[in-house]
Structure 1
């Protein structure tokens, strides 16, 4: 049966053979189709995009038709009710009686908002703050807001803090989009304990049935080397060491950040850059013992000579 479009949905085909196939969105026709059998799951989707290409306020006022695009990172998705200033359409001031009526309307508009709306507003304010601290792209933040809304609808907020759930949603979104951010980075930005963040992340993965792939280790090499201002040749040698490790099958089951830090440490030795394991430990958030063990294994397997 066809359904009308809603932003709060998870479209899935009900056939058992189509469970592994994704839902395909056709923006031109405004439909969502099953990727397995071709059944139309959703129709009459509203256009959430914004077609104005103007770059000035004047162009915006002239060309705007639908307003800005809706966003899941806003508590009302950008469709809020705004009662303007005490002036009419011609710019004249309202009478005292009309001002009083509009003030009462503003008061009741504020009071009529549900508790869920106020909670979402606080959560997304925290999410935007973490986005600025960690340098997260907008599409990842949008995905994190989507995961947090699913967690709220699944009633996972009971017994858990808002900050830990927002942080767990953001980390899961980073994993889905292969944005290299560690649990320690997200925990520090969200001001939550790593233990609590890890616990709530496991809950979200289990309850929402998420399938998070492991991070690409090479992305952590770029991140750590850029933060430590290492030479470009050192970075390339670290990529080469990592590629050889993957061919030897010694990266399976190993911590990706530790593997990246150990590859960079060995590349620094090969290029004469004197940086201690302790500095790599502080920058990567992995203990120097772990980095040392990974480096010994790499040297022994690849037969590297210092």
Structure 2
């Protein structure tokens, strides 16, 4: 053959260019049993077989299905083109969800630039592009925060509503997204603090608070309004809901969380440490509970996990210590779980 050597001779090349045979294009597939010159060959797509329609003999297997991918599992007849492509996003309803990216490599002909210019004319409006950017940032930040997809979907719905109503016009995009994530965490009963959201999104606490207040008033998301509608207290804003993560980060036993939650509830009933932030109350209650149960934990570690200063934790602890008889149950003392003598005294 001519390609058997890198540089063949001219005579050999001429010989190789003259084919001695060619394919027979008149080859037909017939059944060896029926031997009908006009066979009825049926393609069974379900099993991938070629079957003779006269005698039922299988002539071939593993036949590739070349039909359209469109299929439907509904009761109605006909194909369902919605099965082709990626799953539709209900949040992007009414928008083109299929994007085409044109490569820059065109061999220096300039075709790519012309195609990109033509594609830019047919792109979505500026508001839709901003919406796509916001959705991408919400998903990225929720992944960094290890939040489930449910919270990401709630935040996207909230952002879309606020964008349609023009509620936060002029506010930075990062601040609006941060407020939506904060509210979504509360709605999904996995609350995060302002400090945690600010550290994640690098948005100032003041700007985040302004956006949060605007959304809260616009959509009636305040804890008081929700509690009046359902006749229950809002469980997502209490410090006892922060204990799960704080105790896990501090590697504390399970009984610390239950006792600490009872102490916080009792303190709320007696009006102890009212007006303090949930983060401060949670940190002070954990410090108080650890000393009460004889599980010493450095206040420095509690301060780092809760994100509050050591002085704030000591202040809440002082308030709890002064009213310790109202907070500690007698049954804890009887079964030996708690010992008030282990509490560190404080100056009045």
TM score, norm. by length of structure 2: 0.57
Q: CA deviation at 1:119?
A: 0.8
Q: 2-side partners of 1:116 and 1:235: how far apart?
A: 46
Gaps of 5+ in 2: 1-68, 74-79, 103-110, 224-233, 329-339, 344-348
User: Where does residue 156 of structure 1 map in the other structure?
Assistant: 167
Q: CA RMSD in A?
A: 3.1
Match for 1:81 among 74, 93, 98?
A: 98
User: Where does residue 308 of structure 2 map in the other structure?
Assistant: 286
Q: CA deviation at 1:209?
A: 3.6
Q: CA deviation at 1:109?
A: 7.3
User: Where does residue 176 of structure 1 map in the other structure?
Assistant: 187
User: Where does residue 320 of structure 2 map in the other structure?
Assistant: 298
CA contact (8 A) 2:182 2:191 kept: no
Change (3 A) 1:77 1:238: farther
Q: CA deviation at 1:110?
A: 6.8
CA contact (8 A) 2:185 2:192 kept: yes
Q: 2-side partners of 1:187 and 1:84: how far apart?
A: 34
How many pairs are equivalent?
229
Match for 2:249 among 227, 230, 233?
A: 227
After TM superposition, the structure 1 = structure 2 runs for residues 1-306 of structure 1, keeping only pairs within 5 Å, are 66-67=82-83, 68=87, 70-72=89-91, 75=92, 80-81=97-98, 107-108=118-119, 111-212=122-223, 213=234, 215-250=237-272, 252-303=274-325, 305=340, 306=343
Deviates more, 1:201-210 or 1:187-196: 201-210
CA contact (8 A) 1:70 1:79 kept: no
Q: CA deviation at 1:202?
A: 1.7
Q: 1-side partners of 2:219 and 2:128: how far apart?
A: 22
Q: 2-side partners of 1:138 and 1:170: how far apart?
A: 12
Change (3 A) 1:299 1:264: same
Deviates more, 1:258-267 or 1:241-250: 241-250
- Superimposed CA distance per residue, residues 223-248 of structure 1 (whole angstroms, 9 cap, x where no aligned partner): 10111111223223212322332443
Higher relative contact order (CA 8 A, sep 6+): 1
Q: CA deviation at 1:156?
A: 3.5
- Superimposed CA distance per residue, residues 168-221 of structure 1 (whole angstroms, 9 cap, x where no aligned partner): 111112222321201111111112112211122122223444324551322201
Change (3 A) 1:290 1:150: same
CA contact (8 A) 2:88 2:97 kept: no
CA contact (8 A) 1:258 1:294 kept: yes
SS in 2 for 1:181: coil
- Superimposed CA distance per residue, residues 128-187 of structure 1 (whole angstroms, 9 cap, x where no aligned partner): 111012222222221111111122122234321101100011111222232120111111
Q: CA deviation at 1:61?
A: 8.4
TM score, norm. by length of structure 1: 0.64
Q: 2-side partners of 1:77 and 1:138: how far apart?
A: 22
Query: Highest CA radius of gyration, 1 or 2?
Result: 2
**Displaced runs of 4+ in structure 1, greater than 4 A?**
60-67, 75-79, 82-85, 103-107
